[in-house]
Amino acid sequence: MGKKSWNWIVAAALAVALAGCSAGPAAPATPAEEDASGFVSLAQAAPDVILEIRYYSTYNFVGDRIDGYEQPCALMTRQAAAALEEASQDAQARGYRLKVYDAYRPSTAVDHFVRWAEDVEDTRMKAYFYPELDKSVLFDQGYIAERSGHSRGSTVDLTLFDMATGKEADMGGTFDYFGERSHPDYTQDLTPEQLENRNTLREIMVENGFQPLDTEWWHFTLADEPYPDTYFAFPVSEDSVPAA
């Protein structure tokens, strides 16, 4: 090999090495559970939906603001939010608006629920949310679990707001009530109006791509959810999601 060829090879190798040094280390990838790029704010995506984010307040079964709820906003995956906007339009055509209590729920919030459930002495909100149950059975009966479908970002808890009366529709039971009264098929001592209101909410949500849960009349999950195996952990905040 000639001297000129050898010099060219050395120079090329040095250039590659210097380029690698100047580029610096690659930025670490965002962990899947912290990646909010596929989420939107419901205030932007479904602006006619009323928000009453219970876990940002202290009026919930725990009695405290829940970890991970940094702002009283609602976040969902883009696909679920688009379907909820369609459901909102459907509700308005029937004289209602949708009122959301909870949507995406970070895994940090679920951890908070678990810690609360393990403290059987803390029963501050028993009279409001689980008067028929001893707190010690909440795990066994499935009211509290170590994971929630809400953390996948395509589940929503909601009710109907009646535009004619200016009040929430009477569902014959309150959001987050732990008991059989919350089951969608519960009929004992419910009035025809209460049964019709439950059926109307279910109709609106199912016709717009959501699946109901057999233990909570307020709970619906997008049938074709985009992240069926990812449980997200980023906080509930407008700052978590990309700007509209």
Max Cα-Cα span within the chain: 98
SS3 208: coil
Alpha-helix residue ranges (DSSP H) falling in 171-234: 192-207
Exactly one of 52, 85, 216, 225 is catalytic; name it.
216
Please give the structure tokens belonging to residue 71. 């702002």
1's CB contacts (< 8 A; 6+ apart) are none
Neighbouring C-alpha atoms within 13 Å toward the C-beta of 6: 3
| 216 included as an active-site residue | yes
Structure tokens given for 221: 């999950």
Alpha carbons 68 and 233: distance in angstroms, whole number: 8
Query: What tokens appear for 140 in the block?
Result: 């066994």
Outline where DSSP puts E strands in 10-168: 39-41, 50-51, 75-77, 96-102, 155-162, 167-168
Residue 99: strand pairing partners: 50, 159
CA 186 to chain centre: 25
- The Cα 219–Cα 105 span in angstroms is 13
Name which of 208, 240, 239, 234 is nearest 221 in CA terms. Answer: 208
User: What residues act catalytically?
Assistant: 216
